[in-house]
Structure 1
């Protein structure tokens, strides 16, 4: 019987891999694809600029709350039923989002879409880890990483093209073909998990307190910039609720016998270091992307679609690095791969500190390829070592927390970089304005070229000063991201090289039989 399971796993492994790749890509795309369509939704749904942002906020908060519960949901309902329900629910709510005729409907449907989408990425990663023996898990993480990393990169490009060519509703309808293929793949090729963990009673206090902390944190990060951070009573309240929720969850977890998140996860050194490093990857990857998009669109006046096409090559670099790292990790110390990837990422950010408002497209493409290559190396090696020593029974819960930390890192990175961009731009602009006097020869030369005696000329000079101030602020942020990447390298050196267990192809059978 064991032999049959192993054979089944080998036969179905390719189809299962393709299926979970679709699920991962579908969910990862939806984290960014709707962003470019917000201005079009705003007019169609008769919403203000503040109200329309709830389309993004509702999805992010719902997904953040449900992601840590994936392990318990799998144990309670089974992996295949949960996976199938999540995919079908994601398809249905995507269609409802596309058909929404009011802001209230859209926010409600996006919240439901976030709930159904939350388990997709943790389940996909857990399924792949169970499908492949340890010596091939680097290749499995390479495939998984393609979906996770390419989704946010391709999302704005695809969203811009769909919105320009059709209507904003197609950024949701595009999930239908992907979702249908994914659902059929799960139904046909994903069997029942042989080593399904025992269902435990839901720790309601742990779940509620963690949900309160995470939900308040995501609201704070998403709305902080628009509400001027702690000058707003709403942000102050959300910060207090976040601290209260995390405090209650921590105290409860340390004193209760049966907790929402199994504390055995934190006894695995590699896993703990892994979630710390994936947090940093989330900060660097998504924060850099969030900086580059306005850099191209505001400072360089690129159309949305052109900006997306210029950013797309970093996806090519990521893909190449992941495929290469998936092979190298069988022979090369994972710590070396992580350190190399972080070093390449830091070097690419160093090159970006030389950007100007008229930087050549070739330079943008080269730095994007290089940065994508570095991040790809890190992600594959990190996914392999973080779960290489984790017991299989803890994998789904572990992947849920792993992906939650990546998403929180991304949210914090985007919010902090956005705040620093506005602050540094204002400070730099104030400093530049002090030097705009008629006594400086360079100012007199520009004044003549711009025709500063006219209203149009003075406006052009003010616009030039603002653009230069923003460029300096962007460069300061790129420099900060470079130092963050470099400081993560010593942390990677603390990872212990996992000892290879007795290799049995049959142990991989739990993937196809999951």
Structure 2
């Protein structure tokens, strides 16, 4: 795009349309999470089979994200994002009208596949649309919708499912998609990016499809199948590892690669991709565990749990302008380090909770976590792409977000598995302390007897209390380890190199 940046009403509407493209994509990655029991019941399948609605969206999305660079060079950024928005809207409609689980899962795969380019292209087009002086504002705006979407997904999904019906979690995309398509088509008409006659790396695509499909299915189904005690998990692991190895070997020699591994010669891009992916793993894992703990162990309803954790979305939403000013005044690596410090402190604070924790304490811990989210992704994205030229921006953005989103899935599986297994560990230790010779045990059974609980009923109650405490301790363990890992990331982010043009995103020039 060689034309001048947008201005006035065109800039305003264009920025909203591009931001909504990102919001739709990240929202749909999590909006179905709380609706699975309703979808499964309505389509007469088990909840385990219903989870494929989530899995196949992630598989399709992971396959298409790295193809963004090739697609934009071959067809142009505007054509690709318009096609993505149009097809995403169509498949959202098809998902809502699905009459069987097979139809819904198939439509969700294609919905995820066509949504892949939305995140990298909305970011690159937004950066190209703003003047040099306002690029930090554009990045802060994009960061806000990118991090609020996963938080808002379960809340909006729960509301639509409970008050209306599950198809509305897909129908909600239709008016938004129509607006985005018409706005982008009108505002960016005649501003297409250059097109090249390049071939599709079919061998690379083959390895990519097998690698990410096997990995996503492994991550989503691993806990249910007891991980490597299942032959299927072993097969998926081997397929994923071998496919990734051959993919990276092939891409190292391909003339038109899906992954341009030469970009990793850029220190800031390499470090930024690694730190962002690993930190997103911890962030997304904590986003999954917090409501699980509140609903399953603390007795919160889905709406109350959503309200408690939703406080983390307030800060990013309200601090767009503030973050943009910070990025203009302070070195970006120090802002990134500050976000990791805030993450670490908020999780270490949460690791001190007991089963007597109040709603206010939980909401405050999530609010503190939200402060870190508000200043996390924008500085990291800016400094990671600082030395990436505009010709490689779409490719770099696709790779950057591919690894970020992939590690989000890894984080979910690690946190859920660790949470369950550490709880079992703590439960066994707690139960071992309950014996006739322990004065505390005698006092506990005496109290239970006063409530009419004796014999088997008393033992069942004690076991229930032990499990509740065990999951509390397991949650504390997770938050404690994640908190200290963020402190390590804080120091690692100080190794970013400064760049010549102070506090401006060179990649978008």
Shorter-chain TM range is over 0.9
Partner of 2:490: 489
1:210-225 to 2 correspondences below 5 Å? 210-225=208-223
Task: Tell me which of 23, 26, 29 is aligned to 1:25.
Answer: 23
Partner of 1:428: 426
Task: Tell me which of 284, 287, 303 is aligned to 1:286.
Answer: 284
Q: CA deviation at 1:369?
A: 1.1
Q: 1:272 to 1:443 in 2, by over 3 A?
A: same
Partner of 2:259: 261
Partner of 1:172: 170
Partner of 2:454: 453
Higher mean C-alpha displacement, 78-87 vs 335-344:
78-87
Please give the per-residue CA displacement for 1:229-283, whole angstroms capped at 9, x wherever unaligned.
1111111111111111111112112233332222332222211111112102311
Partner of 1:107: 105
- RMSD over aligned Cα, in angstroms? 2.1
Q: 1:460 to 1:393 in 2, by over 3 A?
A: same
Query: Matched residues in 1 for 2:155 and 2:324: separation?
Result: 27
Structure 1: runs of 5 or more not aligned: none
SS state of the match for residue 312, structure 1?
helix
Partner of 1:48: 46
SS state of the match for residue 260, structure 1?
coil
Partner of 2:194: 196
Q: CA deviation at 1:197?
A: 5.1
Partner of 2:473: 472
Aligned residues of 1:66 and 1:119 also touching (Cα < 8 A): yes
Aligned residues of 2:281 and 2:408 also touching (Cα < 8 A): yes
Structure 2: runs of 5 or more not aligned: none
Tell me the matched-pair count.
506
Partner of 1:295: 293
Aligned residues of 1:429 and 1:465 also touching (Cα < 8 A): yes
Task: Tell me which of 365, 368, 387 is aligned to 2:366.
Answer: 368
Q: Does 1:443 find its partner at 2:441? A: yes
Query: Matched residues in 2 for 1:503 and 1:51: separation?
Result: 48
Query: Matched residues in 1 for 2:18 and 2:101: separation?
Result: 32
Please give the per-residue CA displacement for 1:174-230, whole angstroms capped at 9, x wherever unaligned.
112221211121111123445525242111112221222222111111111111111
Aligned residues of 1:80 and 1:192 also touching (Cα < 8 A): no
Please give the per-residue CA displacement for 1:300-322, whole angstroms capped at 9, x wherever unaligned.
11111111111111001223454
Aligned residues of 1:322 and 1:377 also touching (Cα < 8 A): no
Aligned residues of 1:197 and 1:393 also touching (Cα < 8 A): no
Query: Matched residues in 2 for 1:182 and 1:11: separation?
Result: 15
Q: 1:440 to 1:192 in 2, by over 3 A?
A: farther
- When normalised by structure 2's length, the TM-score is 0.95
Q: 1:365 to 1:338 in 2, by over 3 A?
A: same
Please give the per-residue CA displacement for 1:59-113, whole angstroms capped at 9, x wherever unaligned.
1111101110011111222212211111111111111111111111111111111
Q: 1:499 to 1:194 in 2, by over 3 A?
A: farther
Partner of 2:348: 350
Q: 1:446 to 1:94 in 2, by over 3 A?
A: same
Please give the per-residue CA displacement for 1:409-440, whole angstroms capped at 9, x wherever unaligned.
11111111111111111111011110011222
Q: CA deviation at 1:10?
A: 6.0
Query: Matched residues in 2 for 1:53 and 1:95: separation?
Result: 20
Query: Matched residues in 1 for 2:350 and 2:171: separation?
Result: 36
Query: Matched residues in 1 for 2:129 and 2:29: separation?
Result: 27
1:109-124 to 2 correspondences below 5 Å? 109-124=107-122
Q: Does 1:499 find its partner at 2:493? A: no
SS state of the match for residue 165, structure 2?
coil
Partner of 1:154: 152
Partner of 1:79: 77
Query: Matched residues in 2 for 1:66 and 1:194: separation?
Result: 21
Query: Matched residues in 2 for 1:504 and 1:321: separation?
Result: 20
- When normalised by structure 1's length, the TM-score is 0.94
